[in-house]
Amino acid sequence: QAQFVESGGGLVQPGGSLELSCAYSGSSFNMFTMAWYRQTPGNQREGVASISRGGSTNHKDFVRGRFTISKDNAKKMGYLQMNSLNAEDTAVFYCHFPTSLIPWGQGTHVTVSS
């Protein structure tokens, strides 16, 4: 069964950087729009950034200029480079194909704290 495995999270100081990775085990990775989402306790999962089949990207206002989404179709990998992190970025991050029925992965925890 296709699945997503996120990695790269951890504890980072304010102003620091992390790069998240997303490994997809299914087929046709290059046919999908891929997105990163975040979720904080008590809140719904929300989109952070997305990248289309053709490589066009879209970043939400609260991360634009700080985060960059990318992908490697040959490796079936997605990435989220996160710079200038602040405490409000603390969350569990997930990758997924919007509207897909593929189960969500476990996510990767990002904690921004001094």
pLDDT 10s digits, 39-79: 998 999 999 999 999 999 999 999 999 999 999 999 999 99
Averaged pLDDT, 96-110: 94
Distance CA(76)–CA(91), nearest Å, equals 24
Say how many CA atoms lie within 13 Å of 101 toward its Cβ. 1
Distance CA(89)–CA(86), nearest Å, equals 6
